[in-house]
Amino acid sequence: MTNHHRVIIIGAGAAGIGMAVTFKDFNMKDVLVIESGTIGQSFKQWPKSTKTITPSFTTNGFGMPDINAIAKETSPAFTFNEEHVSGDTYAEYLCIVAQHYDVEVATQTKVSDVAYVDGKYELTTNKGVYSADYIYVATGDYAFPNQPFAYGQHYSEVDDFNNLNGNEFVIIGGNESAFDAAINLGSRGASVSIYTTSTGFDHDDADPSVRLSPYTHQRLREAVRQGAHIELNVGYKATDINLHDGVYQVQFENGHTATSSSEPIIATGFDVTRNPLIQQLFTVKDNDVRLTELDESTRYPNVFLIGATVRHEEAVLCYIYKFRARFAVLANILMRREDLPVDASLIDTYKKNNMYLDDYSCCEVDCSC
């Protein structure tokens, strides 16, 4: 027998739980979150040493909710008294929020197929068939690493940098995960060489989605001061990695070869277009997920993408404080489509908390100094 809900959210990470809490605020009760693992699964898979690069601080009373909060009246900083929390800690925060707001979550439930039948969506899972009028895809990208080489350990596959064997490492990539790996390995005494085509290290753009975060710069300076050997090589495009006689050889387009006795770290990001659900429900072109201005699929009605993978030209919503600003907007769209009442004062509370982004043209980041 089909288990029907008005709304099904696929994914119980920051976006999925945050969207569900927002629906609770809008008095939309028939909402189910489906998660293939457990709440905050991707955060639990972060390397043990990895922490949020955005700082948490309890500024909620001044119209600026904690930058890592997924709901306007919560704060990881208040809950854990930490400014930069680990993946495990953030997953615990999501669990606490889900429990506090009584969010219905079906864990260990993997969606294998979605079919559009007679105006409704049927979701086939390992625990039976669910159906919904609306679908919100919040599966993120962490489960889909971009690993173009036969050798090399992707950043997302590292459990603990302290447990990696070797004293010299080659890292492919030049942004946050590459520098996080380099700082952790360099701080333990390993010699690290970063190779990348481009880097956010000294990027002119003030947008933190493009420029390396202040927290990473701070950690890097401290590591170097304490003797870490970290070398940055820009303008190097890796084309192949081979293993000969126990030595890894990284070939580059410019003819250079880098060698290492330790397996290279691949920090080339993630590729959400490899997600079968994304391929099935959305139009993918030029490695981008095509969306309407409402973050809706261009192929199917009432299917929305939420979270860090949403892009609109120059607007990149890859931080929690960015993509959470769309939750109330999308909830309001559903309420209007269903001709359900929304108290205007509720919308005002989201706007006063800078959590109601309904105009992407205002997203340019410009700092004069």
Question: What span, in angstroms and rounded, lies between the C-alpha atoms of 190 and 16?
Answer: 38
* Cα 180 to Cα 190: distance, rounded to the nearest angstrom: 14
Q: Which residues contact 115 (CB under 8 A, 6 or more apart)?
A: 121, 122, 124
Q: What is the pLDDT of residue 368?
A: 65
Task: Say yes or no: domain 4-143+271-353 is CATH 3.40.1000.10.
Answer: no
Round to whole Å and give the CA distance between 188 and 234: 24
Which residue, among 219, 226, 187, 225, has the nearest Cα to 201 in the 3D structure? 219
Q: Please tell me the CATH code under which domain 153-266 is placed.
A: 3.50.50.60
Contact at 8 Å (CB) between 45 and 142?
A: yes
On whether the CB atoms of residues 66 and 52 are closer than 8 A, the answer is no
Residues 6+ apart with CB under 8 A from 14: 40, 43, 70, 90, 94, 307, 320, 323, 324
pLDDT at 207 over 90: no
Question: What's the pLDDT band for 367 if we cut at 50, 70, 90?
Answer: low
Q: Which residues of 141-169 are buried (b: 16+ CB within 10 A; e: fewer)?
A: bbbbbbbebeebbbbbebeebeebeeeeb
Cα separation values, 4 from 65, 82, 129, Å = 34, 40, 9
Per-residue confidence (pLDDT) for residue 9, from 0 to 100: 98
From CA 223, how far away is CA 204, in angstroms rounded? 24
Nearest to 103 by CA among 143, 147, 70: 70
What pLDDT score does 369 carry? 63
CA angle centred on 291, ends 288 and 294, rounded to 5° = 150
Residue 136: band (very low, low, confident or very high) from pLDDT cuts 50, 70, 90: very high
pLDDT of 314 higher than 90? no
At residue 125 the predicted structure's pLDDT band, cuts being 50, 70 and 90, is very high
CB atoms within 10 A of CB 312: 14
Long-range contacts of the stretch 271-275 (C-beta < 8 A, 24+): 271/141, 271/144, 271/145, 271/146, 272/140, 272/141, 272/144, 272/309, 274/144, 275/139, 275/141, 275/143, 275/144
One-letter amino acid for residue 180 of the chain: D
What is the share, in percent, of the chain residues with pLDDT greater than 90?
A: 89
Least-confidence region, from 143-147, 165-169, 200-204, 288-292: 200-204
Looking at residue 16, its pLDDT comes to 98
CA distance 247 to 261: 5
Give the integer Cα–Cα distance in Å for 259 and 172. Answer: 12
The ranges of the chain annotated as CATH 3.50.50.60 are 4-143+271-353, 153-266
Tell me what pLDDT residue 365 has: 72
Does position 226 have pLDDT exceeding 60, yes or no? yes
First to last CA, the chain: 61
Rounded Cα gap, residues 13 and 138, in angstroms: 7
CA distances from 60 to 57, 65, 78 (A): 8, 4, 10
